[in-house]
Amino acid sequence: MPSRRSRIGKGQDMATEILMPALSPTMAEGTLAKWLVAEGDRVSSGDLLAEIETDKATMELEAVDDGIIGKLLVAEGTEKVQVNTPIAVLLEDGESAEDIGAAFTPGHDAASAALPDPVPAAAAAAARTDKGVRIFASPLARRIAADKGVDLATLTGSGPHGRIVKADVEDARPPGAAKSAAAPVAEARPGTTAPAPQSAGADQVAQIYDGCAYEEVMLDGMRKTIAARLTEAKQTIPHFYLRRSVTLDPLLAFRSRLNSQIADSGVKLSVNDFIIKAAAMALQDVPDTNAVWAGDRVLQMKSSDVAVAVAVEGGLFTPVIRDAETRTLSAISTEMKQLATRARARKLAPHEYQGGSFAVSNLGMFGVESFDAVINPPHGSILAVGAGIKTPVVAEDGTVSVATVMSVTLSVDHRVIDGALGARWLAAFAHYMENPMTMLV
């Protein structure tokens, strides 16, 4: 990813700001994971400058111009750096660090300069001690300190040049604050609504388990995003669930014949490939289900772009198979394997895992018989796929036989899809799975 830039200074002596890039259309902030250069290093266009982490991937930042790294404005490991925030300054030949100017002195926190929130007056007043000594703190840290009643003069900064940053203030306690093992319970007055219950904070939970042996695992960007999006999904999307059983024996026999016929190609079709294809074709048969929620309207999509959940260490990705209804089974199989490999290495580009109108989550390969999946907004639905299980089946004539039966559950956003519509989609999906030859027509 090439770096973005802007110019600072006056006249001919102007240094170049290197800005935090937007690695995807929806990215608002990221983590500056690692600097690959140091102040004073000479770089050329195309050289790698830093590693930038989003919630989904780690990408390398490339230099656009030749020059010398005059100043690194954001420290390694800094989280929530806003897009278009200056993160470094590049000097041209003949310029020196003095040409950068006062805009980037140690008291200036570039990582929070772009924050739109005003700094409360109380926080601004705390920028100096009673003796007039200036305290270097980011605007966000000052605001949090004012809200918590924390005196910045009592803190030691962990940011660049000893600057007080958000983490320093969040870990601080105001004078006289007492630790409590449980949050205070507000008594609701008659005629009022009690406040919504809040999750216990880290300190409160730690006190409950005081004396117990445990290891504290900090959340990375992916896990934080998963937590936020799933909470949003369950709180804001009116889920309902439709369940159905699918007989797999015809598909398993058909798959076996196909794989033997294409063995020389190196492609081996999986049951999941058939599931993706069947889902895509069912979306075309019942087009009103091929839709996403867009706040005050529904967007009905034309092509069947199917997102497929892929488990990775610490979370999951949902790479998207575009136009899956028109793709052959072998093409779906090949692309899915490639996407899954890059997903596990966290090398997917944003356009490969964003979008789609529908998702598939298959835990059957892990032996899970059935489960309910959480919709990934703005999708209108997601299919949870369980394992194929040998099951006694009673035929219409009353005879009993053994069949391989797979349980599927369609999680539906009721704002987008009604029950009868979801049932029609499930019927179409089951038809393709139980009559796999029809997927080739």
Spatial CB neighbours of 227, under 8 Å, sequence gap ≥ 6: 219
Q: State the pairing for strand pair 358-362/381-394.
A: parallel
Catalytic residue among 108, 239, 414, 431: 414
What letter does residue 289 receive in the DSSP assignment?
G
Strands (E), 318-428: 320-321, 358-362, 381-394, 400-413
Q: How far apart are the first and last CA of the chain?
A: 42
CA distance 259 to 96: 66
The pair of structure tokens assigned to 386 is: 């369980």
Q: Which residues pair with 5 in a beta bridge?
A: 18
| Residue carrying the six token digits 């950068």 | 100
Q: Check residue 301 and report its DSSP letter.
A: -
Q: How far apart are CA 221 and CA 184, in angstroms?
A: 30
CA distance 430 to 427: 5
Who contacts 202 (Cβ-Cβ below 8 Å, separation ≥6)?
none
Torsion-angle region of 369 (φ positive above 0: left; ψ -120 to 50: alpha; else: beta): alpha
Residue type at 382 in one-letter notation? I
* Pairwise CA distance, residues 29 & 19, whole Å: 12
CA–CA dist 144, 120 (Å, integer): 9
Residue 379 annotated in active site: no
Burial of 30 (0-12, 13-18, 19+ CB in 10 A): buried
Decide: residue 364, CB within 10 A, 0-12 exposed, 13-18 middle, 19+ buried. Answer: buried
What is the distance between the alpha carbons of residues 152 and 168, in angstroms, rounded to a whole number? Answer: 10
**What is d(CA 9, CA 277) in angstroms, rounded to the nearest whole number?**
57
Q: Is the dihedral of CA 329, 331, 334, 339 positive or negative?
A: negative
**Residues carrying an active site annotation:** 414
